[in-house]
Amino acid sequence: MSVVLFYSPFNQRSRDTESLMLAFRRQGHRVISLSQQAGSEIHDLLENHGIETHSFIPESTNAWVRHLRHLIFLIRFCRTNGVDVVYSHLEAANFIASMAQFFMPATVYICRHHTDQYQLLGFDKDISYKLTYQFARNIIVFSEASRKYMIENEGIQASRIRKINLAYDFSLYPAPDAQSIDGISKKNPAEILLITVGSLYPLKRPDESLRVLKALVDRQYNARLILLGKGDLNSELKSLSRELGLEDRLLFAGYVNNVLDYLAASSFVLHPSVSESSCVAIKEAGLVKKPVIVCQGVGDFDDYVIHGVNGFLVDPDKYVEESVAIIEQYNRDNVGLGKIGAGLREAVIRHFDIKNVIDQYNSLNQSVS
């Protein structure tokens, strides 16, 4: 069996990564989590399942000094613990792991959780980002869109990239609570209760969800919208809600621990984002059989969402008008929406249940054991 290290800046929970760690532990591997943060919300769970947890947070105001300290620590840590395989997640850890691979015997896999986000935000010019993918020997992406983007836009050799779906042990999600769902519905009474889940940042376009709500209200529908998440657009969205006269129809719920309850209480899940790799919120919507409206050509949506069968794919440039048309068509069709929601759940489990993905990771672990 192998010694497998998960290296990340995780502080909050990450159910896909947790799922892999727990699965590897059950297989008999020694599994270690090393975080660049305190890991306050994830380490207790991992430790309860026999997974070793560590944190290293160097003190320095200089970014490159911190990078160097992280690099030295990771190399020593892997050598001391006899690490065979490193799965590095998110860019803060990926840069360190990409550099460290030259100084230790462990095989390093750089796990990239975005497609074009860094380019759209202008961060792709950052030297650490460029070095990460210039030198990374093994890269795992979670959607075909990410693989294609890296090859065509970043010039990364296809031989260095493996596409593997995100893997989930869906039993890690608590079942939706009927009483909580009822409470959410009573606090947000509406014929059409919309919900958008995600960080409130420009590329996620939460303002488009407000404009969908406005269009429905203008058509005399009793509609409301819940926004789950926080971000830079908080104040701007509140101003927009006042401008559109939607203050009494909009709930800024922030971050919650019972996302499935909110999703289960909703009528439609709006996801106007134009930058994704493999969106967690849509998989969570599938677990509770809710119809989703997502953007065609974004992330891995085209891989498992079939328009009108298990969800709705719309033109990103026409998100508002096409979403409103879908809602008006299906709003009273409970049977049709039920079938669509059930179809999404089936597709999510088929594509992302860890039992259907784990063999691809097993082959990576076995290749170095």
Residue-wise pLDDT for 301-313, tens only, equals 999 999 999 999 9
Same domain, 45 and 149: yes
Is the pLDDT at 226 greater than 60, yes or no? yes
Q: What does the pLDDT read at residue 366?
A: 78
Q: What does the pLDDT read at residue 124?
A: 76
Q: What does the pLDDT read at residue 6?
A: 98
Q: Which of 71, 63, 70 is nearest to 127 (CA)?
A: 63
Task: Enter the pTM of the model.
Answer: 0.91
Close Cβ partners of 30 (under 8 Å, ≥ 6 residues apart) = 1, 2, 3, 4, 52
Residue with structure tokens 């919300």? 41
Q: Rounded distance, CA 74 to CA 56, Å?
A: 9
Same domain, 186 and 233: yes
Confidence of residue 368 (pLDDT cuts 50, 70, 90): low
Q: Rounded distance, CA 284 to CA 98, Å?
A: 31
Mean pLDDT of the chain: 95
Range of the domain at 289: 174-352
Bigger pLDDT: 214 vs 257: 214
Residue-wise pLDDT for 150-175, tens only, equals 999 999 999 999 999 999 999 999 99
Same domain, 35 and 116: yes
The mean per-residue pLDDT over the stretch 272-277 comes to 95
Domain count within the chain:
2
Same domain, 250 and 193: yes
Query: 232-268 burial string, b = 16+ CB within 10 Å, else e?
Result: ebeeebeebbeebebeebbbebeeeeebbbbbbbbbb
Same domain, 109 and 236: no
Torsion angles phi and psi, residue 25, rounded to 5: -65, -40
The mean per-residue pLDDT over the stretch 177-184 comes to 98
Same domain, 265 and 220: yes
Close Cβ partners of 208 (under 8 Å, ≥ 6 residues apart) = 270, 272, 319, 320
Same domain, 13 and 147: yes
Same domain, 33 and 75: yes
Same domain, 224 and 162: no
* Torsion 350-356-361-367 (CA) sign: negative
Q: What does the pLDDT read at residue 43?
A: 92
Q: What would the two tokens of residue 28 be?
A: 């008999």
Residue 294 near residue 205, CB atoms below 8 Å? no
- Report the CATH number that the domain containing residue 29 is assigned in CATH: 3.40.50.2000
Is the pLDDT at 324 greater than 60, yes or no? yes
Same domain, 270 and 129: no
Q: What does the pLDDT read at residue 342?
A: 98
